């Protein structure tokens, strides 16, 4: 497996790339601190579908282009044109929420590689990932309260599921931007590293994940998602079926053989 030419979405404002078993989605709107235009939400959904259908991709990393931000939120400059009528709001929300749901429900592990500003919809994207690693210059928050915006049910539900009601309330009610250390303390991220080490740290984490059996990873993620938000999951029977499929797989036989022979396993997702 080798690198591929990046695939452009949203007129290049979102890019999908790969390096071996690691897929990368880059929010590429640095002049606007990677603010999410509506076309970028559509592109995110399409990029995820591409990686989901590629059995050689084992983990996906999301990051922002440039030096200033992961994603600074929605591109508010579009709102007058796209969200000035009830029909426009409904269309905008349906498309952005579909992309957010595609990320949250993506079957393979996902990592948010965060630097600079991670605000509003950007924090929502990070929360939808399985793991979040941030640089020490990160500022995270949801500033809907400063804009007079309501934060929707699905977004609040993910916050509460990940962080608990008290931290979710602090995020939404204060509308403050939290430092990297505050984010780590409150569970918003799992690791804080120096900005210069961010890419290498995330790559090492992604490689470690990608080396494991993909069916096992997918079963674990499905179980975590089902337990976290049951109505969005596949239920106990679905989890039991995925677990049984792991035991019946060629990869399980390969894992046992590799352990006995003291070598690295070569998993094939079957």
Q: Which of 179, 195, 210 is the last residue of a domain?
A: 210
Q: Which of 171, 192, 210 is the last residue of a domain?
A: 210
Domain assignment present for residue 266? The answer is: no
- On whether the CB atoms of residues 63 and 28 are closer than 8 A, the answer is no
Please report, rounded to a whole number, the percentage of residues in the chain having pLDDT higher than 90. Answer: 68
**Residue 215, pLDDT above cutoff 80:** yes
Amino acid 1: pLDDT: 43
- On whether the CB atoms of residues 33 and 48 are closer than 8 A, the answer is no
- In which residue are the tokens 């490689």 written? 207
Q: pLDDT by residue (tens digit) across 129-153?
A: 999 999 999 999 999 888 777 888 8
Amino acid 93: pLDDT: 86
Q: Which of 193, 210, 227 is the last residue of a domain?
A: 210
What does the pLDDT average to over 44-58?
Answer: 96
- On whether the CB atoms of residues 47 and 14 are closer than 8 A, the answer is yes
Domain assignment present for residue 69? The answer is: yes
Spatial distance between the Cα atoms of 245 and 129, rounded to a whole number of angstroms? 25
Per DSSP, helices labelled H in the chain are 38-52, 79-82, 86-104, 121-128, 144-147, 153-163, 165-174, 180-185, 198-210, 214-228, 235-247, 250-261
Same domain, 66 and 90: yes
23-62: b (≥16 Cβ within 10 Å) or e: bbbbbbbbebbbbbbbbbbbbbbbbbebbbeeeebbbbbb
Q: pLDDT by residue (tens digit) across 82-139?
A: 777 888 888 888 899 999 999 999 999 999 999 999 999 999 999 999 999 999 999 9
Domain assignment present for residue 2? The answer is: no
């Amino acid at each position: 497996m080798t690198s591929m030419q990046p695939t452009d979405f949203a007129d290049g404002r979102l890019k999908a790339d790969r390096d071996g078993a690691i897929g990368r989605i880059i929010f590429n709107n640095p002049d606007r601190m990677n603010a999410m235009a509506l076309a970028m939400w559509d592109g995110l959904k399409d990029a995820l579908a591409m990686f989901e259908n590629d059995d050689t991709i084992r983990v996906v990393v999301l990051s922002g282009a440039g030096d200033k931000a992961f994603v600074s939120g929605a591109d508010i400059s579009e709102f007058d044109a796209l969200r000035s009528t009830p029909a426009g709001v409904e269309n905008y929300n349906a498309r952005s929420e579909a992309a957010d749901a595609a990320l949250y429900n993506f079957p393979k592990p996902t990592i948010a590689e965060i630097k600079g500003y991670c605000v509003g919809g950007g924090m929502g994207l990070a929360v939808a990932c399985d793991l979040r690693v941030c640089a020490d210059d990160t500022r995270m928050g949801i500033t809907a309260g400063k804009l007079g915006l309501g934060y929707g049910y699905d977004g609040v539900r993910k916050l509460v599921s990940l962080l608990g009601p008290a931290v979710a309330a602090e995020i939404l009610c204060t509308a403050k931007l939290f430092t990297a250390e505050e984010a780590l303390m409150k569970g918003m991220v799992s690791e804080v590293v120096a900005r210069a080490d961010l890419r290498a740290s995330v790559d090492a984490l992604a490689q470690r994940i990608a080396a494991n059996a993909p069916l096992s990873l997918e079963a674990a993620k499905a179980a975590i998602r089902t337990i976290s938000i049951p109505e969005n999951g596949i239920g106990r029977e679905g989890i039991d079926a995925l677990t049984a499929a792991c035991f019946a797989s060629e990869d399980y036989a390969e894992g046992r053989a590799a352990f006995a022979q003291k070598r690295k396993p070569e998993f094939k997702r079957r």
